[in-house]
Every structure is written in structure tokens, then in C-alpha cells.
């Protein structure tokens, strides 16, 4: 590893250069935007991305230590006055440490891995001014040009590997599987789905491992999902089946609506929460609700981008008229 300083058109360029692949995460390249943090490291077998969020904590606390009769300010004063310092330390510190050996604690997201093949040579640079990792990693079969950065205004890691490795999908390693100490936290086993389904979770009951709702309409993997900023029960979903769907989770079965579509086999399996399906794009990758215009959506795809508002979309909450 080395550091370089070279002038450019914007002043001095500060760079950290690896000419040997970093094989432990502490020696990797840090990227981030203040919320999402990434360490880029690995010898290509795999190329690893250790992920973290600034607001991700495990706050679980066994409060049994607080049941001790001396666990109070009055109890602390009495123990100190009587010079029973060892007992005070036991009551107020040691019991908590024994009952909570691993938490509360800051936790990470996990790790993403991409198998390029073991590197035989590499030169990878962190450009500190631009917050970009770029360079080359040569394996026995190819020389890969790499570019990675974290988006400034959204929690998104962007990666380009050229040429892309054949038959090597990005693998996600759960936090609990990255070390014995993290496994001891007892975090729930993560699940991933690429069958077109999506699930809604209640964080108050997340430990149960059961979602509060599951929907299966799309016929291929979900590519983007986002809650509406104007309606807390509305969510937009896009999939690799070239569909963008809008859902209102506050809707329930309506007998009148069921009667209206009676005999329509094509609508027999229509979920009551699904209120709009948008098509006409190929390989939809991302959707976003407009921040100021309720109901307006932008979607990007391999062949186009669309900006639209469904005819049955509301205009968001309305303010009551001002009284004279």
C-alpha cells in the first residue's frame, strides 16, 4: 500500500494505492456518504464489500441486573459511604456485563461478495477527492477494470466490473455468518427471495421472523420498491417481469368489487391491495415517487424512462379550508 499526491485541474489529488490485494477488511478502501459505509477488499476470490449503516444498532438489553435491591441512587450512596466498593462495582457494573456479554451494540449490515477469480496482480486506488475506488485486478483468465463508489444522495453502492465475470452473481453474506461473535448475537436468519414476492414487516415483532403481509403478483425478481412519501400505506414495486405495480395496504376485500368482476377469470387472483399496473418498459430497474407531486412516479428501464400519474391515484392529504 502507498499514498500519492498528484496535482490535477481542481488542486491536489490525494490517493491511496494498493498494488497487492488487501485480504482483510481493515486494510480495504473505505467508501460512504454519512449513512451507508462500505469497505472494499479481497483478493478476487472473492472481491468483498463489507456493509454498514450509521443508524443500525442492536439495542436488546437484559434488564435483570436492575432488579437487585441496591440498584438505586440510595443504594449506591450507602455502599460508597460504607466503603463497600467491590459490592458497588458488582451491583452496578459486573452484573450488567455478565447478563449482556454482546449488547447493546453497534452492528453492521453484512457483506456482499463477487467472485472474479484469485488475483495474480492488481493496482487499485482510492481517490479521496472523488470518493471513488478504481483500478485493475488481473486473474488467470481475465483483467478486470473496477469502479466502485457510494452515491452521495442515496444509500446505494455502485459497482462496475469490466468484463463482468460470467456466471458469478453477487452473493450476500448475512451479518450472523461473518464471525462467531456476531453469531452469538442471535440475530434472525435473513431470507432472500427472487420469485417475484415481497413482504411487509413490523419492526415491533421483527424477532418473530414472520411478516405481517406477503404479496406474490410479479412473475420474476423484484428490482425496486419504495414507500410513497405522501401516503403511508401506499407502496410502489417493479419487477424483472417488466411490470410496475402500485399497492395500497389499507385496502381490504370489497364484496361489491368482487361482484363486479365475477366471471372474469383474468381478474380472479387480483389482490384487493393492488390498484394499478404499469407496463410498456423493458428491464425496469428503478422507481421513485415524486417528492412534491402526490401520485407521480418516475421509472427507469433499459429502453426508456417514464413519468406518469395513475388515473386512480389520489392527490395526497388535503388541508381543511381556512376559517374566515
Based on the fold, state whether residues 231 and 300 are members of the same structural domain.
Answer: yes
Total domains in the fold of the chain: 3
* Domain membership flag for residue 288: yes
Q: CATH no. for residue 25?
A: 2.70.98.50
pLDDT at 251: 87
Based on the fold, state whether residues 169 and 257 are members of the same structural domain.
Answer: no
pLDDT at 228: 93
* Domain membership flag for residue 314: no
Q: How many CB atoms lie within 10 A of CB 17?
A: 14
pLDDT at 10: 43
What are the start-end ranges of the H helices in the chain?
A: 73-81, 85-89, 95-99, 180-183, 255-260
List the one residue out of 317, 300, 299 whose CA is nearest residue 308. Answer: 299
Based on the fold, state whether residues 168 and 248 are members of the same structural domain.
Answer: no
Given a contact cutoff of 8 angstroms between Cβ atoms, the answer to whether 261 and 267 are in contact is: yes
Strand partners, 79: none
Based on the fold, state whether residues 134 and 237 are members of the same structural domain.
Answer: no
Given a contact cutoff of 8 angstroms between Cβ atoms, the answer to whether 190 and 201 are in contact is: no
Given a contact cutoff of 8 angstroms between Cβ atoms, the answer to whether 118 and 140 are in contact is: yes
Helix, strand and coil in the chain, % to nearest 5: 15, 35, 45
Q: What is the pLDDT of residues 104-116, one digit of tens each?
A: 788 888 899 999 9
Mean pLDDT for back-to-back runs of 10 residues, the chain (324 residues): 52 78 92 94 93 85 86 94 94 88 80 92 92 93 93 88 81 83 73 82 72 90 91 93 94 73 68 92 93 93 93 64 59
73: helix, strand or coil: helix
Based on the fold, state whether residues 127 and 265 are members of the same structural domain.
Answer: no
Domain that residue 69 falls in = 62-99
User: Which residue among 127, 157, 183 closes a domain?
Assistant: 183
Based on the fold, state whether residues 132 and 13 are members of the same structural domain.
Answer: yes
Based on the fold, state whether residues 234 and 294 are members of the same structural domain.
Answer: yes
Based on the fold, state whether residues 280 and 235 are members of the same structural domain.
Answer: yes
pLDDT at 246: 96
Q: CATH no. for residue 224?
A: 2.130.10.10
Which residue's entry shows cell 462496475? 160
Based on the fold, state whether residues 179 and 211 are members of the same structural domain.
Answer: no
Amino acid at each position: 500500500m502507498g499514498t500519492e499526491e498528484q496535482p490535477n485541474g481542481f488542486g491536489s489529488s490525494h490517493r491511496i494505492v494498493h498494488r497487492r490485494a488487501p485480504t482483510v477488511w481493515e486494510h480495504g478502501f473505505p467508501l460512504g456518504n454519512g449513512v451507508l459505509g462500505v469497505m472494499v477488499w479481497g483478493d478476487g476470490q472473492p472481491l468483498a464489500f463489507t456493509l454498514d449503516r450509521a443508524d443500525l444498532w442492536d439495542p436488546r438489553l437484559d434488564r435483570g441486573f436492575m432488579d437487585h435491591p441496591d440498584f438505586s441512587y440510595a443504594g449506591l450512596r450507602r455502599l460508597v459511604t460504607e466503603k463497600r466498593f467491590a459490592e458497588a462495582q458488582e451491583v452496578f457494573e459486573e452484573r450488567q456485563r455478565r447478563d449482556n456479554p454482546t449488547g447493546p451494540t453497534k452492528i453492521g449490515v453484512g457483506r456482499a461478495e463477487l467472485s472474479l477469480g484469485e488475483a495474480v496482480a492488481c493496482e487499485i486506488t482510492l481517490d479521496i477527492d472523488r470518493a471513488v475506488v478504481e483500478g485493475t485486478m488481473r486473474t488467470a483468465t481475465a483483467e478486470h477494470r473496477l469502479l466502485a463508489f457510494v452515491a452521495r444522495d442515496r444509500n446505494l453502492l455502485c459497482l462496475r466490473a469490466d468484463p463482468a465475470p460470467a456466471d458469478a452473481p453477487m452473493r450476500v453474506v448475512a451479518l450472523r455468518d461473518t464471525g462467531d461473535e456476531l453469531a452469538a448475537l442471535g440475530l434472525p436468519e435473513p431470507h432472500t427471495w427472487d420469485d417475484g414476492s415481497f413482504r411487509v414487516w413490523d419492526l415491533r415483532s421483527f424477532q418473530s421472523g414472520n411478516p405481517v403481509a406477503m404479496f406474490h403478483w410479479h412473475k420474476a425478481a423484484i428490482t425496486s420498491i419504495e414507500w410513497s412519501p405522501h401516503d403511508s400505506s401506499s407502496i410502489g414495486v417493479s419487477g424483472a417481469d417488466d411490470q410496475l405495480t402500485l399497492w395500497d395496504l389499507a385496502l381490504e376485500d370489497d364484496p361489491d368489487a368482487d361482484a363486479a368482476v365475477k366471471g372474469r377469470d383474468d381478474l380472479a387472483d387480483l389482490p384487493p391491495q393492488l390498484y394499478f399496473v404499469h407496463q410498456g418498459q423493458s428491464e425496469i430497474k428503478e422507481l421513485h415517487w415524486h417528492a412534491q407531486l402526490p401520485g407521480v412516479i418516475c421509472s427507469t428501464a433499459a429502453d426508456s424512462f417514464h413519468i406518469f400519474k395513475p388515473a386512480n391515484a389520489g392527490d395526497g392529504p388535503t388541508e381543511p379550508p381556512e376559517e374566515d
